[in-house]
Amino acid sequence: MDAQRDRPPDKLIRQVISLMAYTLLAGCATVDLPNVGNQGFKLEDDEKRLYNRAQEAVEHLDNSGVIYDDPQLEAYLTRVAHDLLPEGLRDIDAQGIDIRVKVISDPDINAFALPNGRIYFHAGMLALMENEAELATIMSHELVHVLNRHLLKEKRSTDNKATFFNATLGGIFPMAYQLGTMSTVSGFSQQLELEADEQGFEFLMRNGYDASEGVRIFEEIKVTIEDEKIKVPFFFSTHPAIVTRLKNYRKLIDLYSSAPAKKTNEADFQRVTKKMFFDTLRLWMQHGRFKSVERCVDKYLGRNPASSEGFYWKGELYRQRQDCPKGVKKRDKTKDYEEALLAYEKAIESEPGFALAYQGRGKVLKSLNKAAEAKKAFAKYLELDPQAQDHAYIEAYLNN
């Protein structure tokens, strides 16, 4: 299957980028700009236009139906972002920047920041993480993009190149070049990306986070891209190759080797992201990303060995990958179904009243043509959850 086909969220996100990718040439404007909050900082006229476009993008996304609805999660992510800010910028609203973080209900491993301070994480990115230190690694990188006004610098650099090219070639290829330079607005140069990594790393150290967790999340991204054979995520298309970022982070850790930074806040992160994590497993399975599901469920059960939900999703993995889309290699059906039944049993042992585990058992037993056992499992499912959405379907099967 094509893991990067245009799902509705992709189309909406690309529309957001197109809103920002306008090319009103402003001459050779300077890219030597003070950071937000530094002496001499003020919003430039072309920057104000970028902010207006960013606000249009925010409204477009917020009203699109792709935002993951979890106020507690949003509040937690936004707090982490504000805590990462330098001390003098904690009241950053006074600078015209509104730092808020939201989640897009999408399985890809993306994150991006708009110049007005709005930061978006795709659910797929958060689901790969295990603790707050990993979150802070990506968050601090995006914050540097905002504070160092990278989008304005990138736009001005693009405009300057277009102006120079137009003047020196007498307008022979201006439109073709402008179309090429427009694409850079959707990401940042490698120089700015590395700057975001390095300064973001300083944010981590200042807040006492364990920076080695940053290496782990980059390794996890690398493995996911390779396992699922997916293209580089859209918003990461101009980010340095993941291998380069791994090397860069390891060098930064070596430079700060004496720093006693060990904070991970794993418990807080796991508690707040738990619902989103399981919802993302469902998204991954819908898109055939079973290797990611298996790896993340195994890690979850490693941390929570008695989790009924963990075992339920393990069962769902074994069951659902037998119904994977065309083009995905089939596994041994009998073995998968046996493993699914075993996982559902463990879920029931951990929580006898866990209705969905009985539903899963019923589906597997039905597929194995064990009608009597399937009906017994389905009957227990409806007993535990009489308001189940599939109640009518299950009732019809039981009465057949």
Tens-binned pLDDT, residue by residue, of the chain (400 aa): 444 444 556 666 555 655 554 433 334 556 778 888 777 788 888 888 888 888 898 999 899 999 999 999 999 999 999 999 988 776 666 567 889 999 999 998 888 888 889 999 999 999 999 999 999 999 999 999 999 988 888 878 765 544 443 443 344 333 332 323 322 233 567 788 888 888 999 999 899 999 889 889 989 988 888 888 766 544 444 444 677 778 888 888 888 766 566 899 999 999 999 999 999 999 999 998 999 999 999 999 999 999 999 999 999 999 998 866 543 455 677 889 999 999 999 999 999 999 999 999 999 999 999 999 999 999 999 999 999 999 999 999 999 8
Measured over all CA atoms, what is the biggest interatomic distance in the chain, rounded to whole angstroms?
Answer: 81
Evaluate whether residue 152 is within a structural domain. Answer: yes
Taking the C-alpha atoms of residue 168 and residue 171, their distance in angstroms, rounded to an integer, is: 8
- As a whole number of angstroms, the distance between CA 50 and CA 152 comes to 8
Question: Quick one: pLDDT at residue 342?
Answer: 98
Residue 297 lies in a domain: no
pTM of the model: 0.82
Q: Which domain holds residue 358?
A: 306-398
Residue 290 belongs to a domain: no
Asked whether residue 86 falls in the same domain as residue 12, the answer is yes
CATH number for the domain including 347? Answer: 1.25.40.10
Question: Within this chain, do residues 220 and 337 fall inside the same structural domain, yes or no?
Answer: no
In this structure, the answer to whether residues 249 and 388 fall within a common structural domain is no
User: In this structure, are 57 and 168 located in the same domain?
Assistant: yes
Q: Are residues 242 and 371 in the same domain?
A: no
Contacts 24+ apart (CB under 8 A), 339-343: 339/314, 339/315, 340/315, 340/316, 340/364, 341/315, 341/365, 342/315, 343/311, 343/312, 343/314, 343/315, 343/318
* Domain assignment present for 70: yes
Question: What gap in Å lies between CA 358 and CA 338, rounded to an integer?
Answer: 15
The candidate with the shortest Cα–Cα distance to 242, out of 266, 214, 262, 261, is: 214
365 within a domain of the structure (yes/no): yes
- Distance (Å, whole) CA 69 – CA 104: 9
> How many angstroms separate the CA atoms of 257 and 191, rounded?
24
Pick from 195, 223, 255: which residue ends a domain?
255
Judgement on whether residues 195 and 50 belong to the same structural domain of the protein: yes
Question: 255, 275, 294: which is the final residue of a domain?
Answer: 255
DSSP 90: T
The domain tally of the chain equals 2
Same domain, 325 and 237: no
Bridge partners of residue 263, in order along the sequence: 209
* pLDDT score recorded for residue 184: 29
Final residue belonging to a domain, choices 196, 220, 255: 255
Residue 388 lies in a domain: yes
Length of the chain: 400
My answer on whether 39 and 177 are in the same domain is yes
> Tokens 């797929």 appear where?
124
Q: Based on the domain organization, do 251 and 325 belong to the same domain?
A: no
Closest of 396, 393, 320, 307 to residue 354, by C-alpha: 307
Give the Cα-Cα-Cα angle 43, 155, 159 (nearest 5 degrees): 115
Encoding tokens for residue 400? 């057949």
pLDDT of residue 75: 98
Give the SS3 label for residue 325.
coil
Residue 315 lies in a domain: yes
Of 324, 363, 371, 330, the residue nearest 344 (C-alpha): 363
Q: What's the confidence (pLDDT) of residue 165?
A: 37
Decide if 275 is inside a domain: no
- The answer to whether residues 218 and 363 belong to one domain is no
* Residue 251 sits in the same domain as residue 348: no
Burial of 73-108, coded b for 16+ CB within 10 Å and e otherwise, reads bbebbbebbbebbbeebeebeebebebbbbbbbbbb
Give the H/E segment covering residue 213. Answer: helix 212-228
Distance CA 116, CA 120 (A): 12
Number of C-beta neighbours around residue 149 at 10 A = 23
For residues 247 and 311, state if they share a domain: no
